[in-house]
């Protein structure tokens, strides 16, 4: 699979160092709110990031997943995210950290934050592995004083690895790389 990667942007070591920094920041910010902290991973892309992150958070937490469909087969989002599998944990009155693999247009986050807010959460924070502000189309706001945690700002390339895929492939790469355009064009 390495022959499909144009170049590596973040190595496994760089990723793990940044994840540790994010976990420390979250642990510090939420140390007073530990009885009601729920970390929700956005499946499937965030599974590696979520796993590494929660192992390093030094607080009691609950973990759950939500699944949102917005891509289909290809590289462009439909722009109309749909929740296909909701959280199972009761999040009413809880502080929620939504863990994403990548934030680009903002459509998925806007949908998810609104959905979680409707369930009566105290706050919603977002922890995204990659942020692509150059592609932002929708403005979203945190709820209840929540924060936006960002692993890395990503240039506007089609990236795979560390949980992120193209056509369900490349998720198992331990680094983030740029997929060669001829493979998805």
Q: Which of 104, 131, 156, 165 is catalytic?
A: 104
Examine residue 76 and state whether it is found in any structural domain, yes or no: no
The number of domains in the chain is: 1
How does pLDDT run across 1-28, given as a tens digit for each residue? 889 999 999 999 999 999 999 999 999 9
What does the pLDDT average to over 55-65? 96
What percent of the chain clears pLDDT 70, i.e. is strictly above it? Answer: 95
The pLDDT confidence band at residue 126, using thresholds 50, 70 and 90, is: very high
Q: Is 104 annotated in the active site?
A: yes
The pLDDT assigned to 184 comes to 86
Examine residue 62 and state whether it is found in any structural domain, yes or no: yes
How does pLDDT run across 96-111, given as a tens digit for each residue? 999 999 999 999 999 9
The pLDDT assigned to 81 comes to 85
Examine residue 181 and state whether it is found in any structural domain, yes or no: no
Identify the CATH number of the domain in which residue 67 sits.
Answer: 3.40.50.2020
Examine residue 177 and state whether it is found in any structural domain, yes or no: no
Answer yes or no: are the C-beta atoms of 22 and 149 closer than 8 Å: yes
What does the pLDDT average to over 69-85? 69
pLDDT at 158 over 80: yes
Examine residue 180 and state whether it is found in any structural domain, yes or no: no
Examine residue 34 and state whether it is found in any structural domain, yes or no: yes
Residue in 16, 24, 17 with CA at minimum distance from that of residue 162: 16
**Residue 139 to residues 24, 29, 34, 95, 116: CA-CA distances in angstroms?**
27, 24, 29, 21, 16
Examine residue 47 and state whether it is found in any structural domain, yes or no: yes
What does the pLDDT average to over 24-43? 90
Examine residue 140 and state whether it is found in any structural domain, yes or no: yes
Which structural domain range is residue 105 located in? Answer: 12-71+81-158
């Amino acid at each position: 699979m390495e022959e499909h990667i144009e170049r590596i942007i973040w190595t496994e070591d760089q990723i793990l160092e940044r994840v540790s920094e994010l976990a420390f920041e979250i642990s510090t910010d939420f140390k007073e709110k530990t009885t009601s902290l729920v970390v929700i991973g956005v499946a499937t892309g965030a599974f590696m990031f979520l796993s590494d992150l929660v192992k390093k958070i030094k607080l009691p937490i609950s973990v759950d997943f939500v699944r949102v469909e917005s891509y289909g087969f290809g590289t462009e989002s439909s722009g109309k995210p749909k929740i296909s599998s909701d959280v199972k944990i009761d999040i009413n009155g809880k502080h929620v950290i939504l863990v994403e693999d990548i934030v680009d247009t903002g459509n998925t986050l806007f949908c998810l934050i609104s959905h979680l807010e409707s369930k009566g959460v105290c706050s919603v924070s977002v922890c995204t592995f990659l942020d692509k502000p150059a592609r932002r189309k929708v403005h979203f706001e945190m709820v209840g004083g929540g924060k936006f945690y960002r692993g890395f700002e990503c240039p506007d390339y089609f990236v795979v690895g560390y949980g992120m895929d193209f056509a369900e492939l490349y998720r198992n790469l331990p680094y983030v790389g740029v997929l060669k355009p001829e493979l998805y064009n």
